[in-house]
Amino acid sequence: MTSFFSALTALLMMASPAQDAAAAPAAEASQEAAEPKKITDRNHPDYVRCRREPVIGSRARFTKRCHTNREWEMIAQRGNEGTREIVEAGQSGMVGN
């Protein structure tokens, strides 16, 4: 009876590393699936672009701003809308002296 338990224990110990080894690639595959792929197409809406913008009052300092293409487009649209409102307000004579 003792030899049966020792043989069973030895068999279970040999099976455990094989199960762990089989589980490791599955765990790696699930991590790779969870991580998004890096976007390399520069025209993709979610591609991140960084721009250096000068700091006002300094000749040598710059700040780095990073946004996606989609966010840069929204920033440009908001800037254009604000400028358009200022120009239209000036044309209609609403600006007082």
What tokens were used for 37?
């792929």
> What is the per-residue pLDDT for 29?
58
Question: Would you list the domain boundaries of the chain?
Answer: 1-35, 48-91
Confirm if 65 and 50 have CB atoms less than 8 A apart. yes
pLDDT of residue 71: 96
Q: Would you write out the chain's pLDDT as a tens digit for each of its 97 residues?
A: 566 666 656 656 665 555 555 555 555 656 556 667 888 899 999 999 999 999 999 999 999 999 999 999 999 999 999 999 999 888 876 555 5
* The pLDDT of residue 38: 86
d(CA 4, CA 10): 10
